[in-house]
Structure 1
Amino acid sequence: MNDVKKIGVEPDEWEPLKAYTNARIALGKTGISIPLKESLQFKMAHAHAKDAVYSHLDVAGLQADLESTGLPVHRLHSQAENRDIYLQRPDLGRLLANDSVDKLRRLNSSPADISIIIADGLSATAINNYTGPVVNRLVEKIQQAGYSLAPLLLVEQGRVAITDAVGGILRPRLAIILIGERPGLSAFDSMGAYITYEPQPGLTDERRNCVSNIRDRGLPPVLAVDKLMYLINSAFRLQLTGVALKDNNGLLE
């Protein structure tokens, strides 16, 4: 009988770099293929990403998490009636449904300094996981800084630019939207925060600042809030957001 050569997993010279990133590097190889373990992990990561895209906001849980802020929470919806339409028609996710427009107009409140908007985006999983710790700390810091706050808005099937639709009605000086980011194969629960000074219909994304990858294995919520407060204070000082507002927080003078 001929001897059969046993094929094992060959080590990868990039292995030490895995300590610094969640990216799919240094997977090793078995012959001309990647190891079975890595193949299965890839399929699992892909499944998590698909699940995140079709995940739903835990509205009751979020309302309970936000209760301690002392701010009213209003539930809104974009013009995308369901998830399939939302994915096929990004433009509808940027606009408020008619009944949501009417609801905001009935609030009848004076314009506040800051409006906080929470939207599912492409990962409601991220919003369900991180909205509570981020918003509670952020509201506390904003109030300590002396800024006034509009009621919290919880938007289903929303895109980043729905901030401008809200701004056109409530007229806050600045708006922050927390939104689920597009899932990847190494992060399916990442939340982003976009800041817009004087939000109004017709703005483009170059007028916004983004704080990305807010999650336990990315930018932790505590540090994310500190970064957001730096940008908020800078935005009010300079009266702008976007490409002209640089994040120099933590850089050496």
Structure 2
Amino acid sequence: MSAFWEPLRRATPARIGLGRAGNAVPTSEVLAFGAAHAAARDAVHLPLDVDALVEALGGLGLGTPLVVASAAPDRATYLTRPDLGRVPGADLELGQDAADLALVVADGLSAEAVAQHAVPLLEHLLPLLDSTMTVAAPVVATQARVALGDHIGQALGARLVLVLIGERPGLSSSDSLGAYLTWDPRPGVLDSARNCVSNIRPPHGLDHATAARTIVSLVAGARELGATGVALKDGSFTGLLPDATTAATHDS
């Protein structure tokens, strides 16, 4: 029976065909489950190495990265008070000119995901953007939820904000990055007004190049439509050039 499951095991990190030992699963599977659970817990609590991330983002040539913190003063508060992670801890005086696109890199629920995937994703994404777009210097946000990007985008006078954030770890993925795109960012924007590209975590999830093309497609569509969210659909599967506005489709 084990041979039956082997091709499926090679195709997915999900736990399938675990077998049995009496009325329970084998000891090896119990231990593997415990290790995966521990890795997920560690990912939630691991602090973001802000200095290393700032240095890496500085190499993208967008200017000196800025650092902001949410109103959650520590990790324990952040985990129990999601509302505090959605608002800045102090008035945002970012001192930059208005830009078409603001980039926010936030720790979220997995600093490991941000450390591994945020900069490689941006390295693929930035060359694909329309050359007429202006991009603000990246902002690193700590103890942050997605909606903190609305405050940052508004403070930067950006038409769009892209938030790269560590997603909630699962038992087979502790390093998954999410990308959230919002048109006209401002406090109070509903989640239905965002587009999300999820599970960016090669080799087991979406690879950086594919994620970058999908995001650029959504950016093009958002600029054409003047909106993001439920009205905007991913059209990156068309294979058109990233600067073609038809690379993203939307509802009529």
Fold similarity call, TM over 0.5: yes
Q: How does 1:68-79 map to 2 (within 5 A)?
A: 68-71=59-62, 72-79=64-71
Aligned partner letter, 2:165:
I
User: Counterparts of 1:56 and 1:141 in 2: how far apart (Å)?
Assistant: 31
Q: Does 1:184 align with 2:170?
A: yes
Q: 2:57 aligns with which of 37, 61, 66?
A: 66
Write the mapping of 1:146-157 to structure 2, written as runs, cut at 5 A. 146-157=132-143
Structure 2 SS opposite 1:230? helix
| Structure 2: 5+ residue stretches without partners | 240-248
Which residue of structure 1 aligns with residue 113 of structure 2? Answer: 126
**3-state DSSP of counterpart to 1:39:** helix
1:82 to 68, 71, 74: 74
- Which residue does the alignment assign to 2:246? none
Which residue matches 1:194? 180
* Amino acid in structure 2 at the alignment position of 1:81: P
Task: Give the structure 1 partner of residue 22 of structure 2.
Answer: 31
Q: Tell me which amino acid in the other structure corresponds to 1:73.
A: P
Identity over aligned pairs, percent: 43
Deviations 1:157-212 (Å, cap 9, x if unpaired)?
00001111112322201000000000000000000000001111111100000000
Which residue does the alignment assign to 1:49? 40
Equivalenced residues, count: 238
Q: Which moved more, 1:189-198 or 1:231-240?
A: 231-240
Aligned to 2:148: 162
TM value normalised by structure 1: 0.89
- Residue matched to 1:115: 102
1:227 is matched with 214
Letter in 2 for 1:204: L
Larger radius of gyration: 1
Q: Structure 1, unaligned stretches of length 5 or more?
A: 1-9
SS of aligned partner of 2:181: strand
State the alpha-carbon separation in 1 of the partners of residues 4 and 159 from structure 2.
52
